[in-house]
Amino acid sequence: MEIRSLAIDIDGTITDARRRFNLRAVELLRELEARGVEVILATGNILCVAEAAKTFIGTSGGLIAENGGVIKDPALGVERYLGDPVEVRRALNHLVARYSVTPVPQSELRKTEVALLRDSLSAEEVRRCLRGFDVEVVDTKFAIHIKSPQVSKGRALEELLEPRGVDLSTVAAIGDSENDRDMLERAGYAVAVGESSLADVADLVTTSAYGEGGAEALRHILGLLR
């Protein structure tokens, strides 16, 4: 099949549980780039972390940060913010008035969403507290995110690729968590890393998890190239 671009999550997909890069996965990403596949990093993390990862891995594609709330295409000089941060902040104020929660480090740099440490409250408890607010609560396995419902990695991927004229049918996607679901569903070919709950939107679920599963997924994508 024709694969022009690859959109891939970072945390838990090409890292271990401690968020350290799987170096084999990094090598395979560089191999894809060498074979003409533009790699797009799509993360729940903040933009500057994604930019650092892009530099050190050596990817050429755009960036999706904050679960789709921020998109950046360095080649076109485009940086955009999606969603409604005002409603997200209103929901957070409601939550902190009732519970003790801890934002993730560098939360002051987030532009479109809120991310909380998972040892504070469960995602379900946060959802119950925020009923009536126009927000979505997502557990990414590394943090609990409060974001606008219309924000997703899938929508951000479309917005990023449209100016380049890249059809989603030529895009592969790899992810490991519920925040990757929409991206996997919209891509022409999708691999879920060690997460059977994503099997309904994936063409393949890897047998391994975390960075080892990411490397497995990348080897599979390389095998699909013409």
Residue-level length of the chain: 226
Q: Which two tokens stand for residue 44?
A: 């729940």
111 to 126, 155, 224: CA distances (angstroms):
20, 17, 37
Q: Which two tokens stand for residue 61?
A: 């594609």
Q: Which residues, in sequence order, are CB contacts of 12 under 8 Å at separation 6+?
A: 140, 141, 142, 176, 177, 193, 209, 210
State how far the Cα of 185 lies from the Cα of 17, in Å rounded to an integer: 25
Q: Which residues, in sequence order, are CB contacts of 211 under 8 Å at separation 6+?
A: 13, 14, 15, 16, 20, 21, 22, 24, 25
Residue positions annotated with a catalytic role:
9
Q: Which residues, in sequence order, are CB contacts of 55 under 8 Å at separation 6+?
A: none
